[in-house]
Chain A
Protein backbone atom coordinates (compact mmCIF):
# COMPACT_ATOMS: atom_id res chain seq x y z
CA UNK A 1 0.00 0.00 0.00
CA UNK A 2 2.77 2.42 0.99
CA UNK A 3 4.81 1.56 -2.05
CA UNK A 4 1.82 2.27 -4.25
CA UNK A 5 1.39 5.70 -2.71
CA UNK A 6 5.03 6.55 -3.29
CA UNK A 7 4.78 5.31 -6.81
CA UNK A 8 1.77 7.42 -7.63
CA UNK A 9 3.28 10.60 -6.17
CA UNK A 10 6.43 9.92 -8.15
CA UNK A 11 4.36 9.57 -11.28
CA UNK A 12 2.52 12.77 -10.59
CA UNK A 13 5.71 14.75 -10.03
CA UNK A 14 7.17 13.43 -13.26
CA UNK A 15 4.34 14.70 -15.41
CA UNK A 16 4.31 18.21 -16.77
CA UNK A 17 2.90 21.01 -14.58
CA UNK A 18 0.07 21.93 -16.96
CA UNK A 19 -1.62 18.75 -15.94
CA UNK A 20 -2.70 20.38 -12.75
CA UNK A 21 -4.45 23.24 -14.54
CA UNK A 22 -6.76 21.04 -16.48
CA UNK A 23 -10.18 20.68 -15.04
CA UNK A 24 -12.87 18.38 -16.31
CA UNK A 25 -15.60 20.01 -14.32
CA UNK A 26 -16.14 23.02 -16.53
CA UNK A 27 -19.52 21.80 -17.73
CA UNK A 28 -21.28 23.45 -14.86
CA UNK A 29 -18.75 26.06 -13.84
CA UNK A 30 -20.29 29.45 -14.38
CA UNK A 31 -17.20 31.46 -13.50
CA UNK A 32 -13.73 32.46 -14.54
CA UNK A 33 -11.95 32.87 -17.78
CA UNK A 34 -9.19 30.76 -16.31
CA UNK A 35 -11.41 27.74 -16.47
CA UNK A 36 -12.28 28.56 -20.06
CA UNK A 37 -8.68 28.81 -21.16
CA UNK A 38 -7.89 25.63 -19.32
CA UNK A 39 -10.62 23.85 -21.18
CA UNK A 40 -9.43 25.31 -24.46
CA UNK A 41 -5.88 24.16 -24.02
CA UNK A 42 -7.35 20.86 -23.09
CA UNK A 43 -9.27 20.72 -26.34
CA UNK A 44 -6.41 22.07 -28.46
CA UNK A 45 -4.04 19.40 -27.31
CA UNK A 46 -6.82 16.95 -28.07
CA UNK A 47 -5.45 15.03 -25.16
CA UNK A 48 -6.77 14.16 -21.76
CA UNK A 49 -4.43 14.57 -18.84
CA UNK A 50 -5.77 13.02 -15.72
CA UNK A 51 -4.06 11.53 -12.68
CA UNK A 52 -0.76 12.16 -14.41
CA UNK A 53 -1.65 10.06 -17.41
CA UNK A 54 -1.75 11.56 -20.87
CA UNK A 55 -4.13 10.00 -23.38
CA UNK A 56 -4.87 11.31 -26.83
CA UNK A 57 -8.62 10.66 -26.67
CA UNK A 58 -11.27 8.94 -24.68
CA UNK A 59 -10.15 5.33 -24.21
CA UNK A 60 -12.06 2.37 -25.60
CA UNK A 61 -14.54 1.28 -22.99
CA UNK A 62 -14.09 -2.41 -22.34
CA UNK A 63 -15.11 -2.59 -18.71
CA UNK A 64 -18.78 -3.53 -18.99
CA UNK A 65 -18.67 -5.67 -15.83
CA UNK A 66 -17.94 -2.72 -13.60
CA UNK A 67 -20.67 -0.61 -15.12
CA UNK A 68 -22.31 0.14 -18.44
CA UNK A 69 -23.14 3.38 -20.25
CA UNK A 70 -26.70 4.62 -20.11
CA UNK A 71 -28.77 3.56 -23.10
CA UNK A 72 -30.28 6.59 -24.87
CA UNK A 73 -33.71 4.93 -24.80
CA UNK A 74 -33.48 4.60 -21.03
CA UNK A 75 -32.31 8.18 -20.79
CA UNK A 76 -35.32 9.28 -22.81
CA UNK A 77 -37.75 7.57 -20.44
CA UNK A 78 -36.01 8.99 -17.38
CA UNK A 79 -36.10 12.52 -18.76
CA UNK A 80 -39.84 12.52 -19.14
CA UNK A 81 -40.31 10.96 -15.75
CA UNK A 82 -38.06 13.40 -13.94
CA UNK A 83 -40.07 16.35 -15.19
CA UNK A 84 -43.54 15.22 -14.19
CA UNK A 85 -43.36 12.30 -11.77
CA UNK A 86 -42.00 14.32 -8.90
CA UNK A 87 -44.72 13.33 -6.47
CA UNK A 88 -43.89 10.92 -3.71
CA UNK A 89 -44.98 7.50 -4.98
CA UNK A 90 -46.14 6.68 -1.47
CA UNK A 91 -48.45 9.69 -1.24
CA UNK A 92 -51.98 8.40 -1.42
CA UNK A 93 -53.89 11.67 -1.22
CA UNK A 94 -53.22 13.46 -4.51
CA UNK A 95 -52.64 13.05 -8.21
CA UNK A 96 -48.89 13.64 -8.03
CA UNK A 97 -48.47 10.67 -5.78
CA UNK A 98 -50.73 8.48 -7.90
CA UNK A 99 -48.86 9.35 -11.08
CA UNK A 100 -45.50 8.55 -9.52
CA UNK A 101 -46.93 5.36 -8.09
CA UNK A 102 -48.17 4.33 -11.53
CA UNK A 103 -44.73 4.93 -12.98
CA UNK A 104 -43.13 2.84 -10.26
CA UNK A 105 -45.65 0.03 -10.65
CA UNK A 106 -45.10 -0.04 -14.42
CA UNK A 107 -41.37 -0.42 -13.78
CA UNK A 108 -42.08 -3.19 -11.28
CA UNK A 109 -43.93 -5.12 -13.97
CA UNK A 110 -41.07 -4.62 -16.42
CA UNK A 111 -38.52 -5.94 -13.93
CA UNK A 112 -40.75 -8.87 -12.95
CA UNK A 113 -41.27 -9.86 -16.60
CA UNK A 114 -37.55 -10.06 -17.21
CA UNK A 115 -37.05 -12.64 -14.48
CA UNK A 116 -40.37 -14.46 -14.73
CA UNK A 117 -41.66 -13.28 -11.36
CA UNK A 118 -44.81 -11.63 -10.11
CA UNK A 119 -44.56 -7.82 -9.72
CA UNK A 120 -45.55 -8.23 -6.06
CA UNK A 121 -42.28 -10.05 -5.44
CA UNK A 122 -40.06 -7.16 -6.55
CA UNK A 123 -38.60 -4.77 -3.98
CA UNK A 124 -36.78 -1.71 -5.27
CA UNK A 125 -33.70 -0.52 -3.44
CA UNK A 126 -30.38 1.17 -4.13
CA UNK A 127 -28.50 -1.60 -5.87
CA UNK A 128 -27.22 -5.14 -5.74
CA UNK A 129 -24.96 -4.44 -2.77
CA UNK A 130 -27.91 -3.36 -0.66
CA UNK A 131 -29.94 -6.31 -1.89
CA UNK A 132 -27.18 -8.76 -0.99
CA UNK A 133 -26.72 -7.22 2.44
CA UNK A 134 -30.44 -7.21 3.13
CA UNK A 135 -30.90 -10.83 2.13
CA UNK A 136 -27.84 -12.37 3.75
CA UNK A 137 -28.17 -10.52 7.04
CA UNK A 138 -31.95 -10.22 7.00
CA UNK A 139 -32.73 -13.91 6.57
CA UNK A 140 -30.25 -15.03 9.17
CA UNK A 141 -31.39 -12.42 11.66
CA UNK A 142 -35.02 -13.40 11.17
CA UNK A 143 -34.43 -17.12 11.70
CA UNK A 144 -31.57 -16.73 14.18
CA UNK A 145 -33.09 -19.00 16.82
CA UNK A 146 -33.15 -22.07 14.60
CA UNK A 147 -30.76 -21.39 11.75
CA UNK A 148 -27.14 -20.70 12.51
CA UNK A 149 -25.35 -21.61 9.30
CA UNK A 150 -24.83 -19.98 5.87
CA UNK A 151 -23.28 -21.51 2.75
CA UNK A 152 -21.63 -19.38 0.11
CA UNK A 153 -18.73 -19.69 -2.32
CA UNK A 154 -15.22 -18.33 -2.29
CA UNK A 155 -15.71 -16.52 -5.58
CA UNK A 156 -18.70 -14.51 -4.43
CA UNK A 157 -18.79 -10.72 -4.71
CA UNK A 158 -17.21 -8.77 -1.86
CA UNK A 159 -20.56 -7.56 -0.52
CA UNK A 160 -21.81 -11.12 0.07
CA UNK A 161 -18.51 -12.24 1.57
CA UNK A 162 -18.36 -9.20 3.82
CA UNK A 163 -21.94 -9.68 4.98
CA UNK A 164 -21.05 -13.28 5.83
CA UNK A 165 -18.02 -12.11 7.74
CA UNK A 166 -20.28 -9.76 9.66
CA UNK A 167 -22.56 -12.69 10.50
CA UNK A 168 -19.58 -14.70 11.69
CA UNK A 169 -18.76 -11.96 14.17
CA UNK A 170 -22.29 -12.27 15.49
CA UNK A 171 -21.74 -15.96 16.07
CA UNK A 172 -23.18 -17.52 12.92
CA UNK A 173 -21.23 -20.17 11.07
CA UNK A 174 -20.34 -19.76 7.42
CA UNK A 175 -19.10 -22.33 4.92
CA UNK A 176 -17.18 -20.86 2.03
CA UNK A 177 -17.39 -23.50 -0.69
CA UNK A 178 -14.28 -23.87 -2.83
CA UNK A 179 -14.78 -23.90 -6.60
CA UNK A 180 -13.32 -26.16 -9.24
CA UNK A 181 -10.52 -24.92 -11.51
CA UNK A 182 -13.11 -23.80 -14.06
CA UNK A 183 -14.80 -21.63 -11.45
CA UNK A 184 -17.92 -23.76 -11.04
CA UNK A 185 -19.31 -24.98 -7.74
CA UNK A 186 -18.96 -28.67 -6.96
CA UNK A 187 -22.55 -29.81 -6.44
CA UNK A 188 -21.53 -32.80 -4.30
CA UNK A 189 -19.67 -30.52 -1.94
CA UNK A 190 -22.69 -28.28 -1.72
CA UNK A 191 -24.90 -31.23 -0.80
CA UNK A 192 -22.47 -32.31 1.90
CA UNK A 193 -22.21 -28.80 3.28
CA UNK A 194 -25.94 -28.45 3.92
CA UNK A 195 -26.81 -29.03 7.58
CA UNK A 196 -30.12 -29.09 9.41
CA UNK A 197 -29.46 -25.58 10.70
CA UNK A 198 -28.46 -24.10 7.35
CA UNK A 199 -30.49 -20.94 6.89
CA UNK A 200 -29.31 -19.75 3.48
CA UNK A 201 -27.34 -20.79 0.41
CA UNK A 202 -25.96 -17.87 -1.57
CA UNK A 203 -24.35 -18.50 -4.96
CA UNK A 204 -23.94 -15.84 -7.61
CA UNK A 205 -25.34 -16.59 -11.07
CA UNK A 206 -22.67 -14.98 -13.26
CA UNK A 207 -19.33 -14.18 -11.72
CA UNK A 208 -18.30 -10.55 -12.01
CA UNK A 209 -14.62 -11.25 -12.54
CA UNK A 210 -14.49 -14.38 -14.65
CA UNK A 211 -18.00 -14.50 -16.07
CA UNK A 212 -18.69 -18.18 -15.40
CA UNK A 213 -22.34 -19.16 -15.17
CA UNK A 214 -23.07 -21.44 -12.22
CA UNK A 215 -25.39 -24.42 -12.69
CA UNK A 216 -28.30 -22.52 -11.18
CA UNK A 217 -31.04 -25.06 -11.86
CA UNK A 218 -29.10 -27.86 -10.18
CA UNK A 219 -28.25 -25.73 -7.17
CA UNK A 220 -31.88 -24.65 -6.95
CA UNK A 221 -33.01 -28.27 -7.00
CA UNK A 222 -30.59 -29.25 -4.24
CA UNK A 223 -31.78 -26.35 -2.10
CA UNK A 224 -35.40 -27.29 -2.69
CA UNK A 225 -34.76 -30.90 -1.69
CA UNK A 226 -33.15 -29.77 1.55
CA UNK A 227 -35.69 -26.97 2.08
CA UNK A 228 -33.04 -24.28 2.32
CA UNK A 229 -33.72 -20.77 0.97
CA UNK A 230 -31.54 -20.06 -2.03
CA UNK A 231 -30.24 -16.58 -2.76
CA UNK A 232 -28.44 -15.56 -5.92
CA UNK A 233 -26.66 -12.38 -6.86
CA UNK A 234 -27.81 -11.95 -10.45
CA UNK A 235 -26.46 -8.43 -11.00
CA UNK A 236 -24.28 -9.67 -13.84
CA UNK A 237 -26.83 -12.15 -15.13
CA UNK A 238 -30.14 -10.35 -15.73
CA UNK A 239 -30.58 -9.11 -19.24
CA UNK A 240 -27.57 -11.09 -20.39
CA UNK A 241 -28.54 -14.70 -19.89
CA UNK A 242 -32.12 -15.98 -19.61
CA UNK A 243 -33.20 -15.75 -15.98
CA UNK A 244 -36.26 -17.50 -14.61
CA UNK A 245 -36.87 -17.54 -10.89
CA UNK A 246 -39.14 -20.58 -11.20
CA UNK A 247 -36.61 -22.65 -13.15
CA UNK A 248 -33.78 -21.64 -10.88
CA UNK A 249 -35.98 -22.06 -7.83
CA UNK A 250 -34.47 -19.08 -6.07
CA UNK A 251 -36.03 -17.58 -2.98
CA UNK A 252 -34.13 -14.31 -3.24
CA UNK A 253 -32.37 -12.57 -6.05
CA UNK A 254 -30.33 -9.36 -6.26
CA UNK A 255 -30.38 -7.14 -9.33
CA UNK A 256 -28.77 -3.90 -10.32
CA UNK A 257 -29.71 -1.17 -12.79
CA UNK A 258 -26.36 0.05 -13.96
CA UNK A 259 -25.14 -3.30 -15.23
CA UNK A 260 -27.85 -3.41 -17.88
CA UNK A 261 -27.44 0.06 -19.42
CA UNK A 262 -29.72 1.58 -16.80
CA UNK A 263 -29.10 4.28 -14.22
CA UNK A 264 -26.77 3.91 -11.26
CA UNK A 265 -28.14 3.97 -7.75
CA UNK A 266 -31.10 1.67 -8.29
CA UNK A 267 -31.56 -2.05 -8.03
CA UNK A 268 -34.11 -4.59 -7.00
CA UNK A 269 -34.48 -7.59 -4.79
CA UNK A 270 -36.73 -10.50 -5.62
CA UNK A 271 -38.39 -12.03 -2.55
CA UNK A 272 -40.47 -15.15 -3.14
CA UNK A 273 -44.02 -15.16 -1.84
CA UNK A 274 -44.87 -18.86 -2.20
CA UNK A 275 -43.48 -20.64 -0.26
CA UNK A 276 -43.14 -17.57 1.86
CA UNK A 277 -39.67 -16.65 3.02
CA UNK A 278 -39.16 -13.88 5.50
CA UNK A 279 -36.40 -11.52 6.37
CA UNK A 280 -35.63 -8.71 8.70
CA UNK A 281 -35.27 -5.34 6.93
CA UNK A 282 -32.01 -3.46 6.96
CA UNK A 283 -33.81 -0.12 6.80
CA UNK A 284 -36.56 0.69 9.26
CA UNK A 285 -38.98 3.52 8.77
CA UNK A 286 -42.08 4.24 6.75
CA UNK A 287 -42.65 0.65 5.77
CA UNK A 288 -42.46 1.15 2.03
CA UNK A 289 -41.85 -1.83 -0.28
CA UNK A 290 -43.74 -4.35 1.86
CA UNK A 291 -41.84 -3.07 4.86
CA UNK A 292 -38.63 -4.60 3.54
CA UNK A 293 -37.06 -1.37 2.44
CA UNK A 294 -38.25 1.85 4.00
CA UNK A 295 -37.46 5.12 2.34
CA UNK A 296 -38.96 7.05 -0.56
CA UNK A 297 -38.33 5.41 -3.90
CA UNK A 298 -36.28 7.26 -6.48
CA UNK A 299 -39.07 7.34 -9.05
CA UNK A 300 -36.94 8.45 -11.98
CA UNK A 301 -34.24 5.89 -11.32
CA UNK A 302 -36.81 3.16 -10.89
CA UNK A 303 -38.44 4.12 -14.20
CA UNK A 304 -35.04 3.98 -15.89
CA UNK A 305 -34.33 0.57 -14.39
CA UNK A 306 -37.69 -0.69 -15.59
CA UNK A 307 -37.13 0.48 -19.15
CA UNK A 308 -33.62 -0.97 -19.10
CA UNK A 309 -35.11 -4.34 -18.10
CA UNK A 310 -37.71 -4.20 -20.84
CA UNK A 311 -35.05 -3.30 -23.40
CA UNK A 312 -32.76 -6.03 -22.13
CA UNK A 313 -35.53 -8.56 -22.60
CA UNK A 314 -36.27 -7.37 -26.12
CA UNK A 315 -32.64 -7.11 -27.15
CA UNK A 316 -31.21 -10.12 -25.33
CA UNK A 317 -30.96 -12.39 -28.34
CA UNK A 318 -29.58 -9.67 -30.60
CA UNK A 319 -27.05 -8.47 -28.05
CA UNK A 320 -25.95 -11.98 -27.19
CA UNK A 321 -25.15 -12.77 -30.81
CA UNK A 322 -23.14 -9.61 -31.17
CA UNK A 323 -21.26 -10.02 -27.91
CA UNK A 324 -20.43 -13.63 -28.72
CA UNK A 325 -19.09 -12.60 -32.11
CA UNK A 326 -16.88 -9.92 -30.58
CA UNK A 327 -15.64 -12.24 -27.85
CA UNK A 328 -14.48 -14.74 -30.46
CA UNK A 329 -12.88 -11.98 -32.47
CA UNK A 330 -10.99 -10.74 -29.42
CA UNK A 331 -9.86 -14.15 -28.26
CA UNK A 332 -8.80 -15.32 -31.72
CA UNK A 333 -7.05 -12.05 -32.42
CA UNK A 334 -5.00 -12.23 -29.25
CA UNK A 335 -4.25 -15.94 -29.54
CA UNK A 336 -3.16 -15.59 -33.18
CA UNK A 337 -0.34 -13.28 -32.25
CA UNK A 338 0.57 -14.26 -28.72
CA UNK A 339 1.41 -17.48 -26.96
CA UNK A 340 0.92 -18.08 -23.27
CA UNK A 341 -2.58 -16.59 -23.15
CA UNK A 342 -4.88 -18.35 -20.72
CA UNK A 343 -8.62 -17.82 -20.33
CA UNK A 344 -9.54 -17.81 -16.65
CA UNK A 345 -12.66 -19.77 -15.83
CA UNK A 346 -14.75 -22.13 -17.88
CA UNK A 347 -15.18 -21.18 -21.54
CA UNK A 348 -18.28 -23.34 -22.05
CA UNK A 349 -20.34 -22.21 -19.09
CA UNK A 350 -19.66 -18.54 -19.48
CA UNK A 351 -21.31 -15.25 -20.30
CA UNK A 352 -19.63 -14.18 -23.55
CA UNK A 353 -19.34 -10.52 -22.59
CA UNK A 354 -16.66 -11.31 -20.04
CA UNK A 355 -13.23 -12.43 -21.14
CA UNK A 356 -10.70 -12.73 -18.34
CA UNK A 357 -7.26 -13.39 -19.79
CA UNK A 358 -3.89 -14.00 -18.20
CA UNK A 359 -0.74 -13.22 -20.15
CA UNK A 360 2.20 -15.33 -19.03
CA UNK A 361 5.58 -13.72 -18.24
CA UNK A 362 4.13 -10.22 -18.11
CA UNK A 363 3.69 -8.08 -15.03
CA UNK A 364 0.00 -7.23 -14.78
CA UNK A 365 0.30 -3.72 -13.40
CA UNK A 366 2.78 -2.74 -16.12
CA UNK A 367 0.43 -4.13 -18.72
CA UNK A 368 -2.51 -2.14 -17.38
CA UNK A 369 -0.34 0.98 -17.16
CA UNK A 370 0.70 0.53 -20.76
CA UNK A 371 -2.87 -0.03 -21.88
CA UNK A 372 -4.05 3.45 -20.98
CA UNK A 373 -5.98 3.74 -24.21
CA UNK A 374 -8.11 0.74 -23.34
CA UNK A 375 -10.35 1.04 -20.30
CA UNK A 376 -10.02 -2.41 -18.81
CA UNK A 377 -9.52 -3.66 -15.31
CA UNK A 378 -7.54 -6.42 -13.70
CA UNK A 379 -10.60 -7.78 -11.96
CA UNK A 380 -13.44 -6.31 -10.02
CA UNK A 381 -13.52 -2.54 -9.58
CA UNK A 382 -13.77 -3.04 -5.84
CA UNK A 383 -10.36 -4.64 -5.61
CA UNK A 384 -8.58 -2.96 -8.51
CA UNK A 385 -7.10 -0.36 -6.19
CA UNK A 386 -4.95 -2.96 -4.48
CA UNK A 387 -1.94 -4.70 -5.93
CA UNK A 388 -3.06 -8.01 -4.49
CA UNK A 389 -4.04 -10.60 -7.08
CA UNK A 390 -7.75 -11.27 -7.31
CA UNK A 391 -9.13 -13.59 -4.65
CA UNK A 392 -11.44 -15.07 -7.28
CA UNK A 393 -8.52 -16.25 -9.40
CA UNK A 394 -6.76 -17.59 -6.33
CA UNK A 395 -9.88 -19.56 -5.45
CA UNK A 396 -9.70 -21.10 -8.92
CA UNK A 397 -6.19 -22.28 -8.13
CA UNK A 398 -4.57 -19.98 -10.67
CA UNK A 399 -0.83 -19.65 -10.00
CA UNK A 400 0.29 -16.48 -8.30
CA UNK A 401 2.21 -15.26 -11.34
CA UNK A 402 -0.71 -15.83 -13.71
CA UNK A 403 -3.20 -14.27 -11.30
CA UNK A 404 -1.08 -11.12 -11.29
CA UNK A 405 -1.32 -10.75 -15.06
CA UNK A 406 -5.04 -11.06 -15.50
CA UNK A 407 -7.05 -8.56 -17.51
CA UNK A 408 -10.81 -8.54 -17.75
CA UNK A 409 -12.23 -7.47 -21.08
CA UNK A 410 -15.91 -6.58 -20.84
CA UNK A 411 -17.87 -6.50 -24.07
CA UNK A 412 -21.35 -5.07 -24.35
CA UNK A 413 -24.16 -3.64 -26.44
CA UNK A 414 -22.21 -0.55 -27.53
CA UNK A 415 -18.86 -2.20 -28.30
CA UNK A 416 -17.84 -2.12 -31.95
CA UNK A 417 -15.77 -4.48 -34.07
CA UNK A 418 -13.22 -1.74 -34.70
CA UNK A 419 -12.79 -1.27 -30.97
CA UNK A 420 -12.07 -4.95 -30.52
CA UNK A 421 -9.49 -4.87 -33.31
CA UNK A 422 -7.88 -1.83 -31.74
CA UNK A 423 -7.85 -3.46 -28.32
CA UNK A 424 -6.21 -6.56 -29.77
CA UNK A 425 -3.60 -4.45 -31.54
CA UNK A 426 -2.76 -2.42 -28.44
CA UNK A 427 -2.71 -5.42 -26.13
CA UNK A 428 -0.50 -7.45 -28.43
CA UNK A 429 1.90 -4.56 -28.87
CA UNK A 430 2.14 -3.95 -25.13
CA UNK A 431 2.56 -7.60 -24.21
CA UNK A 432 5.26 -8.05 -26.84
CA UNK A 433 7.06 -4.96 -25.60
CA UNK A 434 6.99 -6.16 -22.00
CA UNK A 435 8.06 -9.65 -22.92
CA UNK A 436 10.99 -8.27 -24.88
CA UNK A 437 12.20 -6.67 -21.68
CA UNK A 438 11.51 -9.71 -19.57
CA UNK A 439 14.44 -11.97 -18.74
CA UNK A 440 11.94 -14.62 -17.68
CA UNK A 441 10.43 -14.80 -21.16
CA UNK A 442 13.93 -15.12 -22.67
CA UNK A 443 14.69 -18.02 -20.36
CA UNK A 444 11.43 -19.75 -21.30
CA UNK A 445 12.25 -19.31 -24.97
CA UNK A 446 15.58 -21.01 -24.30
CA UNK A 447 13.74 -23.92 -22.80
CA UNK A 448 14.31 -23.34 -19.11
CA UNK A 449 11.41 -24.27 -16.87
CA UNK A 450 11.04 -21.23 -14.65
CA UNK A 451 9.14 -23.17 -12.02
CA UNK A 452 12.34 -25.09 -11.18
CA UNK A 453 14.57 -22.08 -10.77
CA UNK A 454 16.00 -21.63 -7.30
CA UNK A 455 15.92 -17.90 -6.73
CA UNK A 456 18.62 -16.62 -4.43
CA UNK A 457 17.80 -13.81 -2.09
CA UNK A 458 20.02 -10.79 -1.74
Chain B
Protein backbone atom coordinates (compact mmCIF):
# COMPACT_ATOMS: atom_id res chain seq x y z
CA UNK B 1 0.00 0.00 0.00
CA UNK B 2 1.19 3.49 -0.78
CA UNK B 3 1.47 5.80 2.20
CA UNK B 4 -0.49 9.01 2.20
CA UNK B 5 2.60 11.14 2.65
CA UNK B 6 4.17 9.51 -0.42
CA UNK B 7 1.16 10.41 -2.52
CA UNK B 8 1.13 13.99 -1.31
CA UNK B 9 4.83 14.30 -1.92
CA UNK B 10 4.44 13.00 -5.47
CA UNK B 11 1.61 15.43 -6.15
CA UNK B 12 3.67 18.33 -4.81
CA UNK B 13 6.70 17.32 -6.89
CA UNK B 14 4.61 17.17 -10.04
CA UNK B 15 3.07 20.56 -9.37
CA UNK B 16 6.43 22.08 -8.56
CA UNK B 17 8.02 20.70 -11.74
CA UNK B 18 5.04 21.69 -13.87
CA UNK B 19 5.26 25.28 -12.67
CA UNK B 20 8.67 25.60 -14.33
CA UNK B 21 7.45 25.08 -17.89
CA UNK B 22 8.13 28.30 -19.79
CA UNK B 23 5.12 27.66 -22.03
CA UNK B 24 1.89 29.05 -20.63
CA UNK B 25 -0.43 26.39 -22.02
CA UNK B 26 1.68 23.43 -21.01
CA UNK B 27 2.22 24.88 -17.55
CA UNK B 28 -1.47 25.34 -17.00
CA UNK B 29 -2.30 21.93 -18.42
CA UNK B 30 0.22 20.14 -16.22
CA UNK B 31 -1.24 21.81 -13.14
CA UNK B 32 -4.82 20.98 -14.05
CA UNK B 33 -4.04 17.44 -15.14
CA UNK B 34 -2.04 16.72 -11.99
CA UNK B 35 -4.71 17.98 -9.62
CA UNK B 36 -7.51 16.23 -11.51
CA UNK B 37 -5.49 13.02 -11.73
CA UNK B 38 -4.95 12.88 -7.99
CA UNK B 39 -8.59 13.81 -7.34
CA UNK B 40 -9.80 11.05 -9.64
CA UNK B 41 -7.78 8.44 -7.77
CA UNK B 42 -8.54 9.82 -4.33
CA UNK B 43 -10.83 6.98 -3.36
CA UNK B 44 -8.77 4.08 -4.62
CA UNK B 45 -9.12 1.30 -2.05
CA UNK B 46 -7.60 -1.58 -3.98
CA UNK B 47 -3.92 -1.54 -2.93
CA UNK B 48 -2.82 -2.96 -6.29
CA UNK B 49 -4.58 -0.19 -8.17
CA UNK B 50 -3.15 2.39 -5.80
CA UNK B 51 0.37 1.15 -6.46
CA UNK B 52 -0.32 1.17 -10.17
CA UNK B 53 -1.52 4.77 -10.03
CA UNK B 54 1.42 5.77 -7.89
CA UNK B 55 3.86 4.21 -10.33
CA UNK B 56 2.21 5.98 -13.21
CA UNK B 57 2.46 9.28 -11.38
CA UNK B 58 6.14 8.67 -10.81
CA UNK B 59 6.64 7.88 -14.48
CA UNK B 60 4.90 11.13 -15.36
CA UNK B 61 7.12 13.02 -12.96
CA UNK B 62 10.23 11.53 -14.55
CA UNK B 63 8.98 12.49 -18.01
CA UNK B 64 8.26 16.05 -16.90
CA UNK B 65 11.70 16.39 -15.35
CA UNK B 66 13.37 15.08 -18.53
CA UNK B 67 11.42 17.21 -20.94
CA UNK B 68 11.59 20.29 -18.76
CA UNK B 69 15.34 20.54 -19.29
CA UNK B 70 14.84 20.86 -23.03
CA UNK B 71 12.00 23.34 -22.64
CA UNK B 72 14.10 25.50 -20.33
CA UNK B 73 17.00 25.39 -22.78
CA UNK B 74 14.79 27.01 -25.43
CA UNK B 75 12.73 29.64 -23.64
CA UNK B 76 10.16 31.49 -25.72
CA UNK B 77 11.30 34.88 -26.97
CA UNK B 78 8.05 36.53 -26.05
CA UNK B 79 5.47 35.75 -23.48
CA UNK B 80 1.95 34.63 -24.11
CA UNK B 81 -0.73 37.31 -24.09
CA UNK B 82 -2.23 35.63 -21.06
CA UNK B 83 0.95 36.07 -19.03
CA UNK B 84 1.26 39.74 -19.88
CA UNK B 85 -2.11 40.68 -18.46
CA UNK B 86 -1.33 39.03 -15.14
CA UNK B 87 1.67 41.24 -14.51
Q: Which residues of A contact B (CB under 8 A)?
A: 24, 26-27, 39, 42-43, 46-48, 55-61, 69, 72-73, 75-76, 79, 318, 373, 413-416, 418-419, 422
- Tell me, in angstroms, the Cα distance from A413 to B74 when the chains sit together: 22
- Tell me, in angstroms, the Cα distance from A79 to B65 when the chains sit together: 13
Partner pick for B80 among A24, A26, A58, CB 8 A cutoff: A58
Q: Which residues of B contact A24 (CB under 8 A)?
A: 77
Who on chain B is nearest to A43 by CB?
B77
CB–CB B82/A60 < 8 A = yes
- Tell me, in angstroms, the Cα distance from A24 to B28 when the chains sit together: 25
Asked if B78 is at the interface of the complex by the 8 Å CB criterion, the answer is yes
- Tell me, in angstroms, the Cα distance from A373 to B80 when the chains sit together: 10
Who on chain A is nearest to B76 by CB?
A58
Range of interface residues on B (Cβ < 8 Å): 20 to 34
Taking A414-B25, A416-B25 as contacts, is the C-beta distance between A373 and B78 under 8 angstroms? Answer: no
Who on chain B is nearest to A414 by CB?
B25
CB–CB B66/A76 < 8 A = yes
Partner pick for A57 among B36, B60, B64, B78, CB 8 A cutoff: B78
Kindly list 12 other residue pairs between chains A and B, CB separation below 8 angstroms, not including A57-B80, A75-B67. A27-B74, A43-B78, A46-B84, A57-B83, A58-B76, A72-B30, A76-B66, A79-B67, A79-B70, A414-B29, A416-B28, A422-B82
- Tell me, in angstroms, the Cα distance from A27 to B74 when the chains sit together: 8
- Tell me, in angstroms, the Cα distance from A119 to B60 when the chains sit together: 27
- Tell me, in angstroms, the Cα distance from A26 to B63 when the chains sit together: 28
B42-67 near A? 1/0 per residue, CB < 8 Å: 00000000000000000010011011
Partner pick for A73 among B25, B63, B70, B74, CB 8 A cutoff: B63
CB–CB B26/A57 < 8 A = no
Q: B72: shortest Cβ distance to chain A, in Å?
A: 12
CB–CB A60/B81 < 8 A = yes
CB–CB A318/B36 < 8 A = yes
Q: Which residues of B contact A318 (CB under 8 A)?
A: 33, 36
30 contacts across the A-B interface (CB closer than 8 A) = A26-B77, A39-B77, A42-B78, A46-B78, A46-B79, A48-B78, A56-B81, A57-B79, A57-B81, A58-B76, A58-B78, A58-B80, A61-B25, A69-B26, A72-B30, A72-B67, A73-B67, A75-B70, A76-B63, A76-B66, A76-B67, A79-B67, A413-B29, A414-B28, A414-B29, A416-B24, A416-B29, A419-B25, A422-B81, A422-B85
CB–CB B25/A42 < 8 A = no
Q: Which residues of B contact A60 (CB under 8 A)?
A: 80-82
CB–CB A69/B25 < 8 A = yes
Q: A263: shortest Cβ distance to chain B, in Å?
A: 14
CB–CB B81/A58 < 8 A = yes
- Tell me, in angstroms, the Cα distance from A318 to B29 when the chains sit together: 12
CB–CB B77/A42 < 8 A = yes
CB–CB A72/B81 < 8 A = no
Partner pick for A72 among B63, B76, B77, CB 8 A cutoff: B63
- Tell me, in angstroms, the Cα distance from A60 to B67 when the chains sit together: 23
Q: B30: shortest Cβ distance to chain A, in Å?
A: 8
Q: Which residues of B contact A27 (CB under 8 A)?
A: 74
Most buried by B among A55, A61, A416: A416
Q: Which residues of A contact B82 (CB under 8 A)?
A: 57, 60, 416, 418-419, 422
Task: Give the contacts of B12-31 with A (CB-CB under 8 A).
Answer: 21, 24-26, 28-30
CB–CB B81/A59 < 8 A = yes
- Tell me, in angstroms, the Cα distance from A39 to B74 when the chains sit together: 14
Who on chain A is nearest to B31 by CB?
A416
Closest 10 CB pairs of A and B: A414-B25, A57-B81, A72-B67, A58-B80, A57-B84, A76-B63, A416-B28, A76-B67, A414-B29, A57-B79
Q: Which residues of B contact A72 (CB under 8 A)?
A: 21, 26, 30, 63-64, 67, 71
Q: Which residues of A contact B64 (CB under 8 A)?
A: 72
Q: A79: shortest Cβ distance to chain B, in Å?
A: 7
